[in-house]
């Protein structure tokens, strides 16, 4: 039991930090545009697929840098040439634009990489057990994922709270007109924020790609969870998104790992002769869970 | 007081207006009756039935989005639940030999949609805007996943099927052949269109528009926007249920795809592409999207990509949809200045077509390389044969895309200026008259 708790906590924190990498961009973009970006999970997927392709050509480490850059540039382009134009037509049009974009990105990914999962492997330099805990080998790659997400989280915090750029961004989110009057190019700030937000989602995609399944439906699987995180954390609130990410990460990991043991706990109370319905349920929830290969 | 209301009320319609109005509906009815006589093949009848179902569904969606300003991402829930209930109902009625004919069965689906809208709507419609969109998305996820878990009712991934011919036959119709299903769908489409049009004319319909435009003002006038939204939501669920049950009767099966996100997305696309600002918009959109999806899927493998791109273009450049674009020219026709804008449209059409052809060439070549690189590079898309391995093809595609885009941008700006001038002249004429 203790083993389960420790491993699940580790996995939960890891999943939570990954969620935060995406949710942070999404929630900041929400406070900027006033609408939820439906295509945000698509940029996570683009990151994973770019990472896969670039790591095939140049190796994993360049991919970790190039893929988010590419996705960020695409994201900035989407803001500059798409959303800024649609903004004039109101919130519904913006929401629909991102909805259509998510649809189109999924189609493009399916055309280029196909519908079946691609073979995105953990790099050889990280493919060893980091430590053994209760006779379970904990992979080094997961520790690497955890470190990367925590590192980016701290860097983001520092940039937003301690630097001049961060101050201007924060001001532009709440008082864009005033910031514009002070001589800053608000349009460019928004474009950069959008680019950085999508790049962060792409980082999550690159590092999660080898551990999870890199497939063209990964955006569709993760999207709803991401919305839940952002809504639970309070729309537009960065600290809220952090807490909600960890919470959802832990809840989901525990729910999945506890699922099998529930029927054992209640086994003796089960009336004899009744069909055991728990098994088919747990198998189904395991399949629809985006973290399927972790449990 | 009564003096003011008398003056504020619109003048009663003249006999000519009445004739025009009822004549239009009569013309639609005659059109629906005659249609299978002109196109009588089985494929055409199936297409017409699908279009009819799609029209009801898109119109019911527009009660939410166009008329009350609620963007729903989960409208297929009511469509799908209506469909499932109807399949169960057909099985039960057929099994017990109850005297309920098939034409009345869609009402069961409608009432199912209504019941679930009553159940789920009160919470969803508390607020409009993003909150409503998110709640509708959540409800859709919930229902779609329970459709896979509750196997006895939803039949799992295979779905459940029924035999529609087992029911009581009326006037010798047992609803086996597609032509009888066509007339069933056509009749229900006409009834639903009239009912939903009538709904927009009632005080409730007007209050829905007011809630969409300015909910705060509605509160000042003494209405509760939440209640107005809730009632609109219930009506919308009812008509969505009818559409779903007609679909279930047409296919004689209901599966989890009826409730899924794709179905919700399709109706949103149809309503928005047609134009949510006018009653006729979703009808146009439903016809267009159904024909497009049926036609494109024959022509190319990746029709969904074209569909998505088309939707993005509509959202970006024509937020009023197809109907919105057409309605922009109504004052020009009235002012007699339509002839002035047409030449500039024709000029703009040439580079736009070039851009589209370039995009298609590029996309189809890429598709050929990624999907089946081993096969013959002489592929055929949209009936046009070309060589995907030839660098000339690539160069032509690139030139068409870049050149077409830049020239199209210029010419469409000109067209917009021409439209502006034509409108100004038309208005001046109207004032002078």
Q: Looking up tokens 């994993």, which residue turns up?
A: A60
Average pLDDT, chain A: 79
Q: How far is CA B19 from CA A18, A138, B23, B198, B269, in A?
A: 65, 79, 5, 17, 34
SS3 content of chain A, % helix, strand, coil (to 5): 80, 5, 20
Confidence of residue A260 (pLDDT cuts 50, 70, 90): low
Confidence of residue B3 (pLDDT cuts 50, 70, 90): low
| Candidates A90, A104, A112; nearest CB to B312 | A104
Which CATH code is given to the segment(s) A2-260?
1.10.3470
SS3 content of chain B, % helix, strand, coil (to 5): 80, 5, 20
State pLDDT tens for residues B31-58.
Answer: 888 888 887 787 888 889 999 999 999 9
- What percentage of chain B exceeds 70 in pLDDT? 93
d(C-alpha B86, C-alpha B110), whole Å: 9
State pLDDT tens for residues B223-245.
Answer: 999 999 999 999 999 999 999 99
Yes or no, beta carbons of B302 and A104 under 8 Å apart: no
| Candidates B69, B130, B309; nearest CB to A104 | B309
Please give the pLDDT value at position A233: 81
Please give the pLDDT value at position A295: 35
State pLDDT tens for residues B341-384.
Answer: 788 888 888 888 888 888 888 887 777 777 666 666 666 666 66
d(C-alpha B74, C-alpha A215), whole Å: 24
| Candidates A86, A101, A111; nearest CB to B305 | A111
Q: Which of A186-200, A250-264, B54-68, B227-241 has the lowest mean pLDDT?
A: A250-264
Q: Phi and psi of A194, rounded to 5°?
A: -65, -45
What is the number of helices (H) and of strands (E) in chain A?
A: 12, 2
Angle among Cα B149, B150, B151 to the nearest 5 degrees reads 95
Question: Which of B291, B356, B296, B362 is closest to B322 using CA atoms?
Answer: B291
d(C-alpha B61, C-alpha B279), whole Å: 11
Contacts of B86 (CB under 8 A, 6+ apart): B105, B106, B108, B109, B112, B244, B245, B248, B249, B254
State pLDDT tens for residues B89-147.
Answer: 888 888 887 777 888 888 989 999 999 999 988 888 888 877 888 888 888 888 888 88
Query: Could you tell me the two tokens for B421?
Result: 């001038």
| Candidates B138, B305, B319; nearest CB to A107 | B305
Q: In the predicted model, is pLDDT for residue A20 greater than 50? A: yes
State pLDDT tens for residues B56-95.
Answer: 999 999 999 888 888 888 899 999 999 999 988 888 888 8
Q: Is the ipTM of this complex over 0.85?
A: no
Q: Is the Cβ of B309 closer than 8 Å to some Cβ of chain A?
A: yes
Torsion of CA B161, B165, B168, B174, to 10 degrees: 150
Contacts of B32 (CB under 8 A, 6+ apart): B186, B189, B190
Query: Would you list the DSSP string of A100-139?
Result: HHHHHHHHHHHHHH-SSPP--PPPGGG-SEEEEETTEEEE
Yes or no, beta carbons of A284 and B149 under 8 Å apart: yes
Confidence of residue B287 (pLDDT cuts 50, 70, 90): very high
Please give the pLDDT value at position B5: 52
Which has the higher per-residue pLDDT, A222 or B114?
B114
A&B contacts, CB < 8 Å: 78
| Candidates A89, A96, A231; nearest CB to B134 | A231
> What residue spans in chain B does CATH classification 1.10.3470 cover?
16-323
Angle among Cα B314, B382, A101 to the nearest 5 degrees reads 30
- Kindly identify which residue of chain A lies nearest to residue B301, measuring between CA atoms: A111
Confidence of residue B293 (pLDDT cuts 50, 70, 90): confident
What residues does B160 pair with on adjacent strands? Answer: B254
Contact residues of A toward B, CB < 8 A: 34-36, 82, 85-86, 89-93, 95-97, 99-101, 103-104, 107-108, 111-114, 220, 224, 227-228, 231, 235, 281, 284, 288
The B residues from 276 to 305 touching A (CB cutoff 8 Å) are: 302, 304-305
Please give the pLDDT value at position A273: 44
Which of A89-93, A267-271, B207-211, B346-350 reaches the highest mean pLDDT?
B207-211
Mean local confidence (pLDDT), B270-285: 89
Question: b/e for A93-126, b at 16 or more Cβ within 10 A?
Answer: bbbbbbbbbbbbbbbbbbbebeeeebebebeeeb
Q: Is the Cβ of B359 closer than 8 Å to some Cβ of chain A?
A: no
Radius of gyration of chain B (CA): 24
Which of A4-13, B73-82, B149-158, B162-171 reaches the highest mean pLDDT?
B73-82
Q: Which of A282-291, B244-253, B325-334, B359-368 has the lowest mean pLDDT?
A: A282-291
- At A56 the three-state DSSP class reads helix
- At B86 the three-state DSSP class reads helix
Please give the pLDDT value at position A275: 43
Query: Could you tell me the two tokens for B359?
Result: 């995009």
State pLDDT tens for residues A25-51.
Answer: 888 888 877 778 888 889 999 999 998
Question: Which of A180, A218, A183, A178 is closest to A201 using CA atoms?
Answer: A218
d(C-alpha B411, C-alpha B298), whole Å: 33
Please give the pLDDT value at position B388: 66
CB-facing half-sphere around the CA of A272: CA atoms within 13 A: 0
In angstroms, what separates the C-alpha of B310 from chain A's closest C-alpha? Answer: 9
Q: Is the Cβ of B142 closer than 8 Å to some Cβ of chain A?
A: no
Mean local confidence (pLDDT), B293-319: 83
Question: Which of A151, A183, A171, A206 is closest to A32 using CA atoms?
Answer: A171
| Candidates B71, B137, B370; nearest CB to A92 | B71
The H or E element spanning position A2 is helix A2-33
CATH architecture under which domain B16-323 falls? Orthogonal Bundle (1.10)
Please give the pLDDT value at position A141: 82
Question: b/e for A273-288, b at 16 or more Cβ within 10 A?
Answer: eeeeebeeebeeeeee
User: Which of A49, A79, A99 is the best residue to mutate to test the B interface, defined by the most B CB atoms within 10 Å of its own CB?
Assistant: A99
Q: Phi and psi of B74, rounded to 5°?
A: -135, 35
Please give the pLDDT value at position B121: 87
| Candidates B305, B316, B366; nearest CB to A85 | B316
Angle among Cα A41, A45, A51 to the nearest 5 degrees reads 140
Q: Which of A122-126, A237-241, B353-357, B411-415 has the lowest mean pLDDT?
A: A122-126
Question: Which of B70, B63, B52, B72 is closest to B261 using CA atoms?
Answer: B72
Q: In the predicted model, is pLDDT for residue A127 greater than 50? A: yes
Which has the higher per-residue pLDDT, B298 or B111?
B111
Q: In the predicted model, is pLDDT for residue A267 greater than 70? A: no
Beta-carbon count within 10 A of B123 CB: 10
- At B1 the three-state DSSP class reads coil
Domain boundaries, chain A: 2-260
Q: Which residues of A touch B319 (CB under 8 A)?
A: 86, 89-90, 93
Q: Looking up tokens 């009326």, which residue turns up?
A: B170
Burial class (CB in 10 A: 0-12, 13-18, 19+), B220: exposed
The H or E element spanning position A223 is helix A218-232
Which of A65-79, A81-95, A207-221, B98-112 reaches the highest mean pLDDT?
A65-79
Which of A160-174, B164-178, B222-236, B377-391 reaches the highest mean pLDDT?
B222-236
Q: In the predicted model, is pLDDT for residue A5 greater than 50? A: yes
Confidence of residue A268 (pLDDT cuts 50, 70, 90): very low
Which has the higher per-residue pLDDT, A290 or B406?
B406
pTM: 0.83
In angstroms, what separates the C-alpha of A2 from chain B's closest C-alpha? Answer: 31
Q: In the predicted model, is pLDDT for residue A277 greater than 60? A: no
Question: b/e for A47-59, b at 16 or more Cβ within 10 A?
Answer: bbbbbbbbbeeee
Mean local confidence (pLDDT), B163-182: 76
Please give the pLDDT value at position B373: 63
Query: Could you tell me the two tokens for B90?
Result: 């057909």
State pLDDT tens for residues B376-431.
Answer: 666 666 666 667 667 777 788 888 888 888 888 888 888 888 888 888 888 888 78
Q: Which residues of A touch B134 (CB under 8 A)?
A: 36, 227, 231
Q: Which residues of A touch B363 (CB under 8 A)?
A: 111
The answer to whether B83 and B212 are in contact (CB under 8 A) is no
State pLDDT tens for residues B179-192.
Answer: 888 888 999 999 99
- At B380 the three-state DSSP class reads strand
Query: Could you tell me the two tokens for B242?
Result: 């009818």
| Helix ranges (DSSP H) in B328-390 | 330-335, 338-371
Q: Which residues of B touch A91 (CB under 8 A)?
A: 129-130
């Amino acid at each position: 039991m203790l083993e389960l708790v420790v491993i699940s906590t580790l996995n939960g924190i890891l999943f939570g930090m990954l969620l935060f990498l995406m949710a942070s961009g999404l929630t900041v973009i929400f406070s900027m545009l006033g609408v939820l970006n439906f295509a945000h999970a698509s940029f996570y997927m683009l990151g994973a697929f770019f990472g896969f392709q670039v790591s095939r050509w140049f190796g994993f480490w360049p991919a970790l840098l190039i893929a988010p850059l590419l996705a960020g540039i695409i994201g900035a382009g989407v803001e500059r040439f798409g959303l800024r134009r649609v903004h004039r037509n109101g919130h519904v049009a913006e929401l629909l634009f991102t909805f259509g974009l998510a649809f189109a990105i999924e189609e493009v990914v399916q055309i280029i990489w196909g519908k079946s999962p691609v073979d995105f492997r953990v790099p050889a330099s990280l493919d060893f057990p980091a430590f053994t805990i209760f006779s379970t080998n904990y992979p080094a790659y997961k520790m690497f994922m955890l470190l990367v997400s925590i590192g980016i989280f701290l860097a983001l915090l520092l940039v937003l709270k301690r630097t001049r750029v961060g101050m201007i961004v924060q001001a532009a989110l709440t008082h864009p007109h005033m910031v514009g009057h002070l001589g800053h190019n608000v349009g460019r700030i928004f474009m950069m924020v959008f680019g950085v937000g999508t790049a962060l989602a792409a980082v999550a995609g690159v590092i999660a790609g080898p551990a999870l399944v890199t497939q063209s439906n990964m955006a569709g699987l993760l999207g709803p969870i991401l919305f839940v995180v952002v809504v639970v954390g309070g729309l537009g609130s960065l600290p809220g998104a952090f807490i909600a990410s960890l919470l959802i990460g832990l809840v989901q990991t525990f729910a999945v790992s506890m699922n099998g043991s529930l029927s054992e706990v209640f086994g003796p109370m089960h009336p004899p002769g009744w069909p055991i319905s728990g098994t088919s349920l747990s198998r189904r929830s395991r399949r629809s869970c985006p973290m399927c290969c972790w449990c | 007081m009564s003096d003011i209301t008398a003056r504020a009320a619109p003048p009663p319609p003249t006999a000519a207006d009445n004739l025009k109005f009822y004549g239009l509906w009569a013309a639609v009815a005659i059109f629906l009756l005659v249609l299978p006589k002109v196109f009588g093949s089985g494929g055409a009848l199936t297409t017409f039935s699908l279009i009819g179902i799609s029209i009801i569904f898109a119109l019911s969606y527009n009660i939410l989005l166009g008329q009350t300003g609620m963007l729903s991402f989960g409208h297929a829930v009511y469509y799908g639940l209506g469909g499932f209930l109807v399949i169960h109902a057909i099985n039960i009625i057929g099994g017990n030999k109850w005297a309920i004919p098939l034409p009345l069965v869609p009402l069961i689906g409608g009432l199912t949609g209504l019941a679930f809208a009553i159940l789920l709507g009160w919470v969803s419609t508390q607020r409009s805007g993003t909150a409503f969109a998110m709640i509708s998305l959540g409800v859709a996820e919930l229902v779609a996943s329970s459709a896979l878990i509750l196997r006895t009712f939803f039949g799992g991934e295979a779905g459940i099927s029924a035999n529609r011919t087992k029911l009581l036959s009326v006037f010798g119709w047992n609803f086996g052949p597609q032509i009888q299903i066509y007339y069933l769908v056509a009749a229900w489409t006409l009834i639903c269109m009239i009912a939903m049009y009538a709904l927009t004319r009632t005080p409730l319909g007007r209050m829905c528009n007011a809630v969409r435009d300015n909910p705060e003002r509605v509160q000042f006038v003494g209405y509760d926007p939440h209640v107005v939204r809730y009632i609109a939501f219930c009506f919308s669920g009812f008509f969505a249920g009818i559409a779903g049950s007609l679909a279930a009767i047409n296919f004689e099966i209901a599966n989890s795809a009826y409730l899924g996100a794709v179905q919700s997305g399709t109706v949103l696309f149809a309503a928005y592409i047609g134009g949510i600002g006018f009653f006729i918009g979703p009808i146009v959109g439903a016809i267009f999207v159904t024909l497009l999806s049926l036609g494109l899927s024959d022509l190319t493998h990746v029709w969904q990509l074209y569909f998505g791109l088309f939707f993005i273009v509509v959202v970006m450049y024509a937020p009023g949809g197809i109907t919105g674009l057409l309605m922009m020219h109504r004052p020009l026709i009235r002012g007699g200045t339509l002839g002035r804008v047409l030449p500039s449209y024709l000029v703009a059409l040439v580079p736009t077509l070039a851009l589209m052809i370039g995009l298609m060439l590029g996309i189809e070549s890429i598709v050929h390389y990624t999907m089946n690189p081993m096969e013959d590079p002489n592929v055929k898309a949209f009936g046009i044969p070309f060589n995907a391995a030839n660098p000339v093809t690539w160069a032509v595609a690139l030139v068409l895309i870049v050149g077409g885009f830049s020239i199209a941008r210029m010419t469409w700006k000109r067209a917009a200026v021409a439209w502006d001038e034509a409108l100004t002249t038309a208005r001046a004429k109207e004032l002078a008259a």
